[in-house]
Every structure is written in structure tokens, then in C-alpha cells.
């Protein structure tokens, strides 16, 4: 099995460009919506690395009306799509760990490996058990208080 072609950040960046060419600002905004916060310098390095690996094509628009600044557009290439697919297949090839090894601890206990309906039933039984124990505890307190008064 060959290693993944793209890092997680590169994978997401290429995926965002599937909808069409974007400016670096639009791509950065899309990454921010997904919770990726990178400085302008690290974002710039990300784009350059994707360009060097031929996953992205950077095209510069011609300046309009005597403007000196040029706007660039980032577009995914065929190599970018192939690398994205290879990375996706690489991670999809892994199976999930056995349910008994999943380290999910919640206040309800280790129930992540069970289907939702089974979890709901177990949680309902636990809640009823806790309620009954609370009622029994109150009954014991009340009967104990009455015995002491006599």
C-alpha cells in the first residue's frame, strides 16, 4: 500500500477547488469556514507546495484599467484530482477498530460501538435504575428519621 499523496490540509484545499477556480482569499475563507486557521504565510506555503506538486494551476488575471495589482485564480488540475482520489482511497482502505477497543468514554459509559436504538434503551434503563435507587434512599432516610424520633 502506497502512502497518502496529500496531507489533510492539502486534501481539503483541493476538495474546495472542485467547485471551480477561486482566488486565494476565497479559498482561505472556505478553509476558515471548516475551522482551519492558518496565517497568511503558511497558507501561501500551502498553495506553493500544491503548485509545485502540480495539483494546482495558478493563473493570473490581467490588470484592468491600469491597475498594477494582479489577481490570481487557483484551479485544480488532473494530477490534483488523481492525488485527491488516491488519498481518499488510502484512508478508506483502513477498517475501523473493534468496538471493544474504541476509547470513547462518555458520562453514559462506553456505548459508542452500539447502534443508537440500543444505546437509548440502555440509557433509559440506567436512568430508571438511578431513579429507583434515589427513591429507595429517600425512603430509608424517612423511615430512619421516624425511628429515631420515637
Tens of pLDDT, residue by residue over 14-33, are 999 999 999 999 999 999 99
For residue 100, the model assigns a pLDDT of 58
Residue 75's alpha-carbon distances to 8, 30, 39, 145, 150, in angstroms, are 18, 14, 21, 78, 87
pLDDT surpasses 90 at 81: yes
Q: For residue range 83-128, what is the model confidence (pLDDT) as tens digits?
A: 999 999 888 888 776 655 554 555 545 666 677 777 778 778 878 8
pLDDT-wise least confident of 47-51, 54-58, 75-79, 113-117: 113-117
> pLDDT confidence of 70, banded at 50, 70, 90?
low
Distance separating alpha carbons of residues 80 and 91, to the nearest angstrom: 17
Amino acid at each position: 500500500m502506497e502512502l497518502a499523496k496529500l496531507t489533510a490540509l492539502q486534501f481539503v484545499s483541493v476538495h474546495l477547488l472542485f467547485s471551480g477556480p477561486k482566488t486565494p482569499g476565497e479559498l482561505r475563507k472556505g478553509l476558515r469556514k471548516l475551522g482551519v486557521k492558518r496565517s497568511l504565510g503558511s497558507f501561501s506555503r500551502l498553495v506553493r507546495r500544491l503548485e509545485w506538486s502540480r495539483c494546482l494551476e495558478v493563473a493570473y488575471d490581467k490588470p484592468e484599467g491600469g491597475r498594477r495589482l494582479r489577481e490570481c485564480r487557483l484551479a485544480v488540475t488532473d494530477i490534483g484530482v488523481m492525488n485527491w482520489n488516491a488519498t481518499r482511497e488510502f484512508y478508506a482502505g483502513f477498517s475501523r477498530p473493534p468496538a471493544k477497543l474504541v476509547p470513547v468514554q462518555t458520562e453514559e459509559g462506553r456505548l459508542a460501538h452500539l447502534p443508537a436504538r440500543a444505546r437509548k434503551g440502555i440509557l433509559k434503563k440506567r436512568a430508571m435504575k438511578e431513579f429507583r435507587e434515589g427513591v429507595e434512599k429517600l425512603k430509608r432516610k424517612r423511615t430512619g428519621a421516624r425511628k429515631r424520633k420515637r
